[in-house]
Amino acid sequence: MKPYKFLIIPNRKKDTGLAVTKRILAFLQGKGQELYVDPEFWEDTKSFQTNPVTPDQYDSIHMAVILGGDGTILSSARKLYQYSIPLLGVNLGRLGFLAEVEPEAATEALEKVLQGQYSVERRIMLSGSILNQGREKTDPFLGFNDAVITRGAFSRMLRVAVEINGRYVETFLADGIIVATPTGSTAYNLSAGGPIIVPGAQNLVITPICPHSLSVRSIVVSEEDEISLRVESEASPEEEEQERKIMLTIDGQVGYGLEQGDQVRLSRADGAIYIVKMKDSTFYDILRRKMF
């Protein structure tokens, strides 16, 4: 059988001296696997016969092993999304909801991968764009967890008008609003009182942040729905520019400035992210172990 082509994605801040990365590389090298790394890491790992990956090689990668926290997986997912590469997360962070394999069990998990004892879970992503008066202000963007509209430096409420498939739903007065995928439902959405949605579900959830009404609740929509959020700030024209800043944040990692009247359009992206799961672990096991 031909060797797997593994792309190893380390995180220098989480993996001191790349100790865990090198242990994984040594294991896979000993198993005769074909190893690739970002050119940034090649000098540190070339003794393990790694190859510096080039953009034209992504299509041939069988699996990416991502070492870090959930944030490392989120950024890697947006980067690798178009190539449909299964992602195996090794948790070097705190919670590790996406990176479910602990460092001490990494080689055991990879042994199971080589023996075919794993499954791949399909996860949907968000696709979005920002418009003003019908014209796009930014290139389209992708999100794995969520898209969040909040105010910047000052804690002043926002008005955000929500439409679904072009039909007006409500204008929410709140600290902000979250649109999350099932993967992101256990992140900011959960902290804001939104529901947990099983990862394989084909839904999006809209959750106001600290709404100015006790009757406001999250709205779960289908993967076919298009969501539109229009920003209507509570700030007056006389207030300082700094106070009126509004931000759209994607996965807590990528930010865009918004102005009053801007419209954020969000829907399920074409394609999917594929997360490698060990057969002896379920979403409910992880939920019980890491959340409850």
Annotated binding site: 70-71, 145-146, 156, 175, 186-191, 253
First and final C-alpha spacing in the chain: 42
How do beta strands 263-268 and 63-68 pair? unpaired
**What phi and psi values does residue 86 have, to the nearest 5 degrees?**
-60, 140
How do beta strands 50-52 and 34-37 pair? parallel
| Cβ atoms within 10 Å, residue 224 | 10
DSSP state of 59: G
**What phi and psi values does residue 177 have, to the nearest 5 degrees?**
-150, 145
Beta bridge partners of 275: 87, 121
Q: Which residues are documented as binding site for NAD(+)?
A: 70-71, 145-146, 156, 175, 186-191, 253
Handedness of CA 51, 55, 60, 61 (dihedral sign): positive
Residues annotated catalytic, as ranges: 70
Compute the distance between CA of residue 190 and CA of residue 195 in angstroms, rounded to an integer. 6
Give residue for tokens 């799961």: 277
**What phi and psi values does residue 77 have, to the nearest 5 degrees?**
-60, -45
Number of alpha carbons in the 13 Å side-chain half-sphere of residue 171: 9
